Structure 1
């Protein structure tokens, strides 16, 4: 479904990604793990065309999207849930969800998908008239994921969904990620909690200083001594 071939991305003169390559097949959950500053978020931003790629190529379902606008990439079925959630605090939960469907014209389908989001996150149904800025951190994360689902993504890019959340909320979020995947959405997950990320993913890539230094199935990475020592807090 997605092929990232040798991409180089810069922030000004800072060389953030140095030839990153990865593959995602339809139906997979793939995770990117690594320390802060490794290039995980930049990889997602490059795929979404928020941060332009200077070299290399990105294809989605066989089409080159390397220099396509972010809006056109969303229209093709790639949607990102950004780090920090970035919901619209002055809009209600319902209005935030409608913003996720802004490219759609099928009103009945939008209503059905809103109901699907409310079924995934029942607390959002209770809060649907409440302003996004008054929600708890966990509820805002649920809303950010729900808003992305309103765009009917084929590939969902999730950036640090557990950041700053209580363990019980994290468990809930990751169970929903499994449900989303079982329902047919492919997922690329960036997550600081490597143990949690590898528990939900089929495969993973390890990034360091803007490069892929290791890849494998989740089981292979969970059992690799270097990964365990560096990212799972084990000797």
Structure 2
């Protein structure tokens, strides 16, 4: 049984049909990526899974239970956490306070989880008492991912983690994403930078105009002439 399964999910923004019959699976332990141009439906799919944009029809099954239509704030206790597009950190709070907010639903000690985040992102330990809004874009991205990890998710949704980052930082962020996966967290990754996404993912789905138009192993997608031309900058 897949950890996450979407069956013919349709989601709308008002009258705009943004996700059209989306079907996909994510197996436990995988990194699966969604690639596509702006407006293809990638973020909409994540928002539908996380309950921010409940689908009008279709099924979203997580750990064998249907979760479509459940409020987004209940997802974190079910084991789904999201690092959102644009980071959305709490700018006036310190780094440590942001991390604590990621575990707002927990009543146990957070020391081990904070230590784990600091091990993954040593920069955050150095900045623990700093207001998050004063940090660089790369540091804020690290914080957004670290905050999501504080809930000990089974499934981590990452929305455009490389957006606006310098190439050297992109490489570092993706190394850390691989490490998070090696430590046992399943990852569903939305990423404009298809090159790096397909390097670390085991499988991928290509979205166009709200629909899945291709689904294959990352290796096969990298070799696909249409994918190479449209998303990898090759002809």
Distance between the aligned counterparts of 1:233 and 1:91, measured in 2? 40
Instruction: State the Cα distance separating 1:55 from its structure 2 match.
Output: 0.7
Shift of 1:186: 0.1
Q: Secondary structure at the match of 1:6?
A: strand
For 1:149 and 1:73, locate their aligned partners in 2 and report how far apart those are by CA, in whole Å.
14
* Shift, 1:74, TM fit: 1.1
1:157 paired with 2:157, answer: yes
Instruction: Tell me the CA shift for residue 149 of structure 1.
Output: 0.2
SS at match of 1:53: coil
1:54 pairs, out of 53, 56, 75, with 56
Q: For residues 205-227 of structure 1, what are the alpha-carbon distances to aligned partners after superposition, in whole Å with 9 as ceiling and x for unaligned?
A: 00000000000000000000000
**Which position in structure 1 is the counterpart of 2:231?**
231
Q: Which residue pairs with 1:91 in the alignment? A: 93
Superposed, 1:32-71 pairs within 5 Å as 32-71=34-73
Quote the residue 1:199 is aligned against.
199
Give structure 2 stretches of 5+ with no counterpart. none
Match of 2:178 in 1: 178
| 1:67 Cα deviation after fit | 1.2
Counterpart secondary structure, 2:61: strand
How far did residue 71 of structure 1 move?
A: 1.6
Q: Name the SS of the counterpart of 2:56 in structure 1.
A: strand
Instruction: Report the secondary structure of 1:75's partner residue.
Output: helix
Query: Is 2:218 aligned against 1:221?
Result: no
The alpha-carbon deviation at position 152 of structure 1 amounts to: 0.5
Task: Name the CA distance, whole Å, in 2 between partners of 1:207 and 1:121.
Answer: 31
TM-score (norm: length of structure 1): 0.99
What is the Cα deviation at residue 69 of structure 1? 1.2
Structure 1 gap segments, 5+ residues each = none
The runs of at least 4 consecutive aligned structure 1 residues that moved more than 4 Å come to: none
The answer to whether residue 81 in structure 2 is matched with residue 79 in structure 1 is yes
Q: Which residue of 1 aligns with 2:146?
A: 146
Please state whether the residue corresponding to 1:102 is helix, strand or coil: coil
Q: TM-score, normalised by structure 2?
A: 0.99
How far, CA to CA, are the matches of 2:123 and 2:74 in structure 1?
32
Q: How many residues align?
A: 233
In 1, the alpha carbon distance for the partners of 2:80 and 2:16 equals 26
Q: Which residue of 1 aligns with 2:33?
A: 31
Question: How far apart, CA to CA, are the structure 1 residues paired with 2:66 and 2:95?
Answer: 35
Deviation at 1:88, TM superposition (A): 0.1
Q: CA deviation at 1:7?
A: 0.4
Deviation of the 1:146 alpha carbon: 0.2
Structure 2 CA distance for aligned equivalents of residues 192 and 23 of structure 1: 20
Shift of 1:8: 0.4
**CA offsets 1:82-128 (integer angstroms, 9 cap, x no match):** 00000000000000000000000111xx1110010000000100000
